[in-house]
Amino acid sequence: MSEPTPSAALAAALSVSPVSADSRTRSNRIARAIAISSGKGGVGKTNLAVNLAATFAARGQRVVLLDADLGLANADVLCGITPRATLEDVVSSERTLQEVMVGAPGGFQLIPGASGVSRLADMGQTQRRNVLDQLLALERTTDLLIVDTGAGIGANSMAFAAAAHSILVVTTPEPTSIADAYGAIKTLVARGCREGLQLVVNMTASEAEGRAVHARIDRVSRAFLSTPIAFAGSIPHDPAVLAAVRRRTPVSVYAPESQAAQAIRQLARSLSGESADADHADQRKGFLVRLARALGAR
């Protein structure tokens, strides 16, 4: 008998939920997953992920930020946290997920440097079940899972993004950033992600500039990908952001009345409205189940 592929092994493991049928009947709602993605680095993707997490937490939601940047995981740096353990330690059975999660400024929980997720398929059945049980339980005790993916269109980054219920592609008004954002959108559409794709334009000089960038990308996406791209919003270039980074504190906490913090609050309100209006049938498939499907699409 041939050995199953890693993706098939992961999918098989994910098909077994640690939650009983009775529990599923009582509560079908699981964490909504929002991926923050970008076509290139340096566009403020992780900063946005951290500040959205803090903003949603301030609204009274139970929020977990999963740092899934497999190359340069640094959400902990922006939060002024020096983690003693990461998801790697959960994968190796040295720590539990609850021991790895740390409280971050603004009231959300951070899972640092989540490169361990990509190794789940390579673990033994018992070890894999232990990790998945913890992650699946987390999905049922959390309102919102924000996933900070790696920059670019690498297979791991796109798999994490494709597994989310909503995907925010972050760009700036720079031509190279716009081109790379379209490249990320094209890759995601090729993976079947035609729903939930939205654009955030960061570091803008004005709202009009952000809308102009969106119009440009949306027009090309409609013409060549037959896929409209929603405009999630724009975030102005704001000196308060750099000051917050230097203090290793989210700008939404450091300078809550700054223009950037206000724009992020508006983005969070928009995303909350989208969640309230959406059909949650597919959301009952949690991030991990969707991740297994995305990995299988490689």
| pLDDT exceeds cutoff 80 at 67 | yes
pLDDT score of 131: 73
The residue written with tokens 């972050």 in the block is 170
- Cα separation, 284 vs 66, whole angstroms: 19
Q: Is the pLDDT reported for residue 56 higher than 90?
A: yes
Pick 261 or 40 by higher pLDDT. 261
8 A C-beta contact, residue 1 and residue 131: no
> Residue 4's pLDDT band (boundaries 50, 70, 90)?
very low
* pLDDT given for residue 274 in this prediction: 63
Output the 3-class SS for 100-164: HCEECCCCCEEECCCHHHHHHHHCCHHHHHHHHHHHHHHHCCCCEEEEEECCCCCHHHHHHHHCC
pLDDT (tens digit per residue) in 106-137: 999 999 876 666 665 566 667 767 777 787 78
Which of 144-158, 175-189, 260-274 tops mean pLDDT? 175-189
Task: Say yes or no to pLDDT of 15 above 80.
Answer: no
- What's the whole-number mean pLDDT along residues 258-275? 90
Burial class (CB in 10 A: 0-12, 13-18, 19+), 234: buried
pLDDT value at 20 more than 50: no
Residues 6+ apart with CB under 8 A from 59: 268, 272
Mean pLDDT of 133-157: 85
CA separation, residue 280 to residues 210, 270, 277, 284 (Å):
30, 17, 9, 7
For 179-220, write each residue's pLDDT tens digit. 999 999 999 999 989 888 999 999 999 999 999 999 999 999
Fold of 6-296: Rossmann fold (3.40.50)
Q: If we measure between CA atoms, which residue out of 8, 12, 3, 4 comes closest to residue 295?
A: 8
**pLDDT over threshold 50, residue 19:** no
As a whole number of angstroms, the longest Cα–Cα distance in the chain is 62
| Residue 11 pLDDT greater than 80, yes or no | no
Name the residue with tokens 């500040």: 51
Average pLDDT over residues 152-179: 91
Cα–Cα distance for residue pair 51/204, rounded to 1 Å:
17
The whole-number pLDDT of residue 119 equals 64
Average pLDDT of the residues in 157-170: 90
Mean pLDDT of the chain: 83
Comparing 158 with 248, the larger pLDDT belongs to 248
- Please state, in angstroms and rounded to a whole number, the distance separating the CA atoms of residues 235 and 211: 11
Provide the pLDDT for residue 2: 45
Please tell me the predicted confidence (pLDDT) of residue 17. Answer: 39
Residue 23: its pLDDT value, please? 39
Give pLDDT, residue 14: 44
